[in-house]
Amino acid sequence: MKIIDQSWCFEQKPQNVMETLERAARTCYKSEDKIADGSAEKLIAALIKNGHHSVLEHVNISVRIITDRAVTHELVRHRLASYSQESTRYVKYDDVEVIRPVWFDDLSEFDSSINTWKSAMMVTENHYRYLIERGWRPEQARTVLPNSLKTEIFVTANVREWRHIFKLRCSKKAHPQIRVLMLNMLKEFVREWPVLFNDIAEEYIY
């Protein structure tokens, strides 16, 4: 058994994001003649401030996330995104990987609850291996695998949907595992496209 931390990375960062969104927005008003240096940022910032978010649907951003199955169960509830996820039906786990709960950071390394969790994960791995050895297919043996099981998921969503995801999953009301993941992602999204995501970061990070 391996215990790993959740992580993520960009898979596809679109080019000329602000310029694309500006051209889409100015189509509505036939004001393309007003395109100039810095005009995209100013226009898109105004649209976001005024709640006119439909234009943000013209740009998609893709990421790869490594987290646990419980987090992805919540993530895929966001309907307006596309997902491709590691399948427990077809992947046979010779060495089960589990995701470290983020709240372990708030516990002493000698806290007995951490050992209880580790013990449960090892028991699960032993049961899974036994079932595989008995001839069960991975799609059958997976029924004993825990929510903490590591999984990879490829996610594509447009800017408007990413904003929606961040607003819900960066909230203090969100589950701590997905909240830590999304706050980390939001910081990088802001670094790449500050105009598109800075207002959300100001609410949840700054």
Q: What is the chain's alpha carbon radius of gyration, rounded to the nearest angstrom?
A: 21
142 catalytic residue (yes or no)? no
Rounded to 5 degrees, φ, ψ at 141 are -65, -20
User: Which of these is catalytic: 26, 69, 163, 169?
Assistant: 169
> Are the C-beta atoms of 5 and 100 separated by less than 8 Å?
yes
Parallel, antiparallel or unpaired: strands 60-68 and 150-158 = antiparallel
Q: Which residues are catalytic?
A: 169
